[in-house]
């Protein structure tokens, strides 16, 4: 990547790097101990607390992968043609229970049990049918189009490991093994609120000098998608008393508290000081943009994240720090987010000194090549940039401006399952 240094850099010796902050959070956290037994549908999105070993083989019997005819491999002609006599039919769910002898075949459908003796399936399109006889050519291989018993899963095989978050494919897989219930980590309980005298909630009439509170809504969305039990504590006013009261009430019965706003060093920023008084501050500043002020610590048994108030900063810091922290507490095995290196079609402005998370649109160009471009204005208050983006463009701390056409690292927002 081409970089240029600039006179007005973004260095701040009090800031932790993104990597140091992640490491501190990681060292500080432990998965919750409580487990519960749940029906598999209710366990969707939760984290397995046990390894799942299969008690059956999948598929449970040799079966046909095609609609066609079940034959003996020994009857396949090596050249010319062979004629076989049809002696019965095996439907899915209605097997043919006789043994196929030399010179015989059975009509068979996809998923039907292979009749005894037969070991090969000829697709119906490759057969000439004459009454109860079929004629086959020499192009077939013994064993073809048969799905053997245990092909997917054998008895005793570990199919899902403790620490796996159960996604739609996983609950389908559990069902395919006949497993009705699983042991999972209990849902995390998280309280969240916004701080700020200027904030007005949706449904209220905006007064002069007010803005609508958006962070509580994006936070609600991000937390809900993680499968978390939420308490929305609303908007807390910028006074030390109100902030303290909210902290104490949130800490009582929650695993984590997440706030936004009030973490800078302004006169009305009480979050970090209140945490210092009632609990412990681990760190409060990170060399990143957006999201420089970010308070992390503990209050009683709850971990605490004080996110910055700017809407984009709140979301970026959530995805980079809060989400992995909560997943760790949920008992989830650590996952390294997928990052890709792709050419960037936009010129990117940046000063060295902070890691930046610019918002990008990752797409295929007209030659099918994966490329990224900037969403437009990158201010930390431009929430439309998060809504339009489908990835972060991650620029390392030391990097300066990036010229059009240079390669950059991107982190896509979401996976398919
Ligand atoms: P603060 O971190 O409290 O200094 O806030 C930084 C900026 O973010 C200010 O412009 C606030 O008005 C804005 N802000 C703070 N909280 C919210 C919120 N919940 N929703 C939308 N904007 C907010
Ligand atoms: Mg504020």
Tens-place pLDDT, residues 229-263: 999 999 999 999 999 999 999 999 999 999 999 99
Mean pLDDT, residues 298-303: 97
Cα gap 98→285, rounded to integer Å: 75
Looking at residue 3, what is its pLDDT? 42
Distance 301 CA to ligand 2 centre (A): 26
Cα gap 153→157, rounded to integer Å: 7
Tens-place pLDDT, residues 308-325: 999 999 999 999 999 999
Cα gap 243→257, rounded to integer Å: 12
Residue 1 has pLDDT above 80, yes or no: no
Of 12-16, 58-62, 105-109, 373-377, the least confident: 12-16
Contact (CB, 8 A) for 322 and 313: no
Contact (CB, 8 A) for 117 and 95: no
Most ligand 1 atoms within 8 A of CB, residue of 209, 211, 272, 380 to mutate: 211
Q: Which H or E run contains 313?
A: helix 311-317
Tens-place pLDDT, residues 206-222: 999 999 999 999 999 99
Q: pTM score, two decimals?
A: 0.90
In this structure, the residue with its CA closest to atom 15 of ligand 1 is 309
Whether 198 lines ligand 1, by a CB cut-off of 6 Å, is yes
- Of all residues in the chain, the percent with pLDDT exceeding 90 is 94
Whether 290 lines ligand 1, by a CB cut-off of 6 Å, is no
Q: Which residues pair with 85 in a beta bridge?
A: 104, 133
Tens-place pLDDT, residues 78-127: 999 999 999 999 999 999 999 999 999 999 999 999 999 999 999 999 99
6 pLDDT band (50/70/90 cuts)?
Answer: very low
* Closest alpha carbon to 297 in 345, 256, 252: 256
Q: Which atom of ligand 1 is nearest to the CA of 198?
A: 12
Residue 2 has pLDDT above 80, yes or no: no
Distance 277 CA to ligand 1 centre (A): 23
Residue 397 has pLDDT above 60, yes or no: yes
Whether 261 lines ligand 1, by a CB cut-off of 6 Å, is yes
Looking at residue 415, what is its pLDDT? 61
Distance 284 CA to ligand 2 centre (A): 15
Distance 309 CA to ligand 2 centre (A): 6
In this structure, the residue with its CA closest to atom 6 of ligand 1 is 309
* Closest alpha carbon to 345 in 272, 397, 410, 280: 410
Residue 417 has pLDDT above 60, yes or no: no
Distance 311 CA to ligand 1 centre (A): 7
Whether 213 lines ligand 1, by a CB cut-off of 6 Å, is yes
Most ligand 1 atoms within 8 A of CB, residue of 221, 261, 271 to mutate: 261
Name the token pair of 172: 């389908």
Q: Which atom of ligand 1 is nearest to the CA of 216?
A: 19
Distance 261 CA to ligand 2 centre (A): 5
DSSP string of 18-68?
HHHHHHHHHHH------EEEEETTTTTTSBBSS-EE-SS-BSSS-EESSSE
Cα gap 216→234, rounded to integer Å: 8
Name the token pair of 129: 């049918």
Tens-place pLDDT, residues 348-358: 999 999 999 99
Domains in the chain, start-ordered, CATH in brackets?
18-35+187-329 (3.40.980.10), 36-58+151-185 (3.90.105.10), 63-147 (2.170.190.11), 340-412 (2.40.340.10)
Residue 5 has pLDDT above 50, yes or no: no
7 pLDDT band (50/70/90 cuts)?
Answer: very low
Looking at residue 265, what is its pLDDT? 87
Whether 265 lines ligand 1, by a CB cut-off of 6 Å, is no
Distance 292 CA to ligand 2 centre (A): 14
Looking at residue 11, what is its pLDDT? 87
Tens-place pLDDT, residues 159-196: 999 999 999 999 999 999 999 999 999 999 999 999 99
Looking at residue 14, what is its pLDDT? 85
End-to-end CA distance of the chain: 32
Contact (CB, 8 A) for 132 and 89: no
pLDDT higher for 380 or 417?
Answer: 380
Q: Is 34 exposed, middle or buried (0-12, 13-18, 19+ CB in 10 A)?
A: exposed
Distance 381 CA to ligand 1 centre (A): 8
Residue 141 has pLDDT above 70, yes or no: yes
Distance 376 CA to ligand 1 centre (A): 21
Name the closest ligand to CA 381.
Answer: 1
Q: Which atom of ligand 1 is nearest to the CA of 262?
A: 3
Residue 285 has pLDDT above 90, yes or no: yes
In this structure, the residue with its CA closest to atom 23 of ligand 1 is 309
35 pLDDT band (50/70/90 cuts)?
Answer: very high
Contact (CB, 8 A) for 193 and 234: yes
Whether 310 lines ligand 1, by a CB cut-off of 6 Å, is yes
């Amino acid at each position: 990547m081409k970089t240029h240094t600039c006179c007005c850099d973004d260095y701040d010796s009090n800031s932790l790097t993104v990597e140091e902050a992640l490491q501190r959070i990681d060292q500080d956290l432990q998965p919750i101990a409580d487990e519960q037994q749940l029906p598999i549908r209710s366990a969707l999105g939760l984290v397995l607390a046990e390894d799942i070993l299969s008690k059956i083989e999948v598929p449970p019997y040799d079966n046909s992968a095609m609609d066609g005819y079940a034959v003996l491999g020994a009857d396949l002609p090596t050249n010319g043609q062979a004629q076989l006599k049809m002696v019965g039919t095996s439907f899915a769910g209605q097997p043919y229970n006789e043994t196929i002898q030399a010179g015989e075949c059975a009509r068979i459908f996809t998923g039907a049990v292979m009749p005894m003796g037969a070991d090969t399936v000829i697709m119906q399109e490759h057969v000439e049918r004459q009454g109860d006889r079929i004629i086959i050519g020499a192009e077939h291989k013994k064993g073809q189009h048969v799905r053997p018993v245990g092909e997917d899963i054998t008895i005793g095989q570990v199919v899902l490991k403790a620490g796996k978050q159960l996604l739609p494919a996983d609950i389908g897989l559990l069902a395919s093994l006949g497993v009705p219930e699983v042991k999972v980590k209990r849902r995390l309980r998280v309280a969240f609120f916004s701080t700020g005298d200027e904030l007005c909630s949706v449904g209220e009439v905006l007064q002069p000098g007010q803005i609508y509170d958006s962070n509580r809504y994006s936070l609600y969305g991000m937390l809900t998608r993680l499968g978390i039990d939420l308490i929305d504590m609303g908007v807390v006013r910028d006074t030390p008393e109100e902030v303290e009261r909210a902290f104490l009430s949130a800490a009582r019965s929650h695993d984590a508290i997440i706030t936004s706003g009030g973490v800078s060093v302004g006169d009305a920023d009480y979050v970090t000081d209140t945490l210092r008084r009632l609990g412990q501050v681990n760190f409060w500043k990170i060399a990143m943009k957006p999201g420089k002020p970010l308070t992390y610590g503990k209050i009683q048994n709850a971990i605490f994240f004080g996110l910055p108030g700017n809407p984009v900063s709140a979301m970026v810091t959530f995805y980079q720090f809060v989400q992995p922290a909560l997943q760790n507490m949920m008992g989830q095995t650590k996952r390294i987010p997928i990052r890709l290196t792709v050419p960037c079609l936009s010129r990117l402005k940046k000063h060295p000194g902070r890691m930046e998370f610019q918002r990008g649109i990752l797409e295929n160009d007209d030659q099918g090549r994966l490329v990224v471009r900037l969403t437009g204005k990158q201010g930390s208050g431009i929430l439309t940039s998060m809504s339009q983006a489908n990835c972060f463009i991650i620029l390392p701390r030391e990097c300066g401006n990036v010229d059009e056409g240079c390669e950059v690292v991107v982190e896509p927002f979401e996976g398919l399952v």
